[in-house]
Amino acid sequence: MTTHIGASPGDIAETVLMPGDPSRAQWAAETFLEDVSCINKVRGMLGFTGTWKGHRVSIQGSGMGMPSLSIYANELIRDFGAKTLIRIGSCGAMQDTVAIRDVILAMTASTISTPSTHIFHPLNFAPCANFELLRAAAVASEKKNVTTHIGGIYSSDVFYSEHPRLDEEMTRHGVLAVEMEAAELYAVAARYGCRALAVLTVSDHLKTGEALPSEDRERTFGDMVEIALEAAFP
């Protein structure tokens, strides 16, 4: 048990999927895992452990934003022995070539700041995904015939951006989408020598204003969860 995770030793698997929304963690666990048990309820940030095709998997909510994600990633790795952490979440597209419902595999994650930024000063550290996971996720996406984009994303530390010029420059430089957690996940995983990947579903589009209807989210997010699981256990 830690300050933020009420699990007992051995309750958490070495492979952990991390949605931001704890309700989505519950939905994913109940939909894709067998023999599921709830292993965390502290602060309402639900966590579950079960099996997928015979492999032990945990699904732990991480909250919204990099400070919250950093807490859970640190404790999962440091105190519970997690080795592979895969973020499953939504993102906003920043390119005309990326459409609603597409999946993005984040090869790199640019950011203005994260809870880890002070560690690297004055170095501009470049957080990136584990290549083994990235490659396996790409193969899984192709098998599922899911439209997938691989490249750089932007991890923002604010939800309501006040930097329209920055958005324009990121779009001009090929950044695929924006979300709020991956850069810190990649930094924490690198620090501990663990594997990390962000598998993201495009739920809205910054340029067109489109948004994924709520009734379609479950089916589309299901593709993302399956890709993450296939990547972890190819």
- Tell me the binding residues: 4, 20, 24, 43, 87-90, 179-181, 203-204
In 3D space, the residue among 193, 69, 60, 166 whose CA is nearest the CA of residue 110 turns out to be 166
CB 49 within 8 A of CB 227: no
d(CA 122, CA 69): 23
Query: How many CB atoms are located within 10 Å of the residue 141 CB?
Result: 24
Within 8 A by CB and 6+ apart from 142, the residues are 148
Our answer to whether residue 204 is catalytic in this structure is yes
In 3D space, the residue among 27, 25, 88, 37 whose CA is nearest the CA of residue 231 turns out to be 88
Within 8 A by CB and 6+ apart from 185, the residues are 18, 69, 73, 85, 87, 109, 127, 196, 198
Backbone angles phi, psi at 49, to 5 degrees: -130, 140
d(CA 16, CA 84): 6
Q: Which two tokens stand for residue 1?
A: 């048990």
DSSP single-letter state for residue 44: G
What's CA 92's distance to the chain center, in Å? 13
d(CA 104, CA 91): 9
Using the structure block, give the residue that is written with the tokens 């990947």: 197
The active-site residue, picked from 21, 79, 157, 204, is 204
Q: Which residues are catalytic?
A: 204
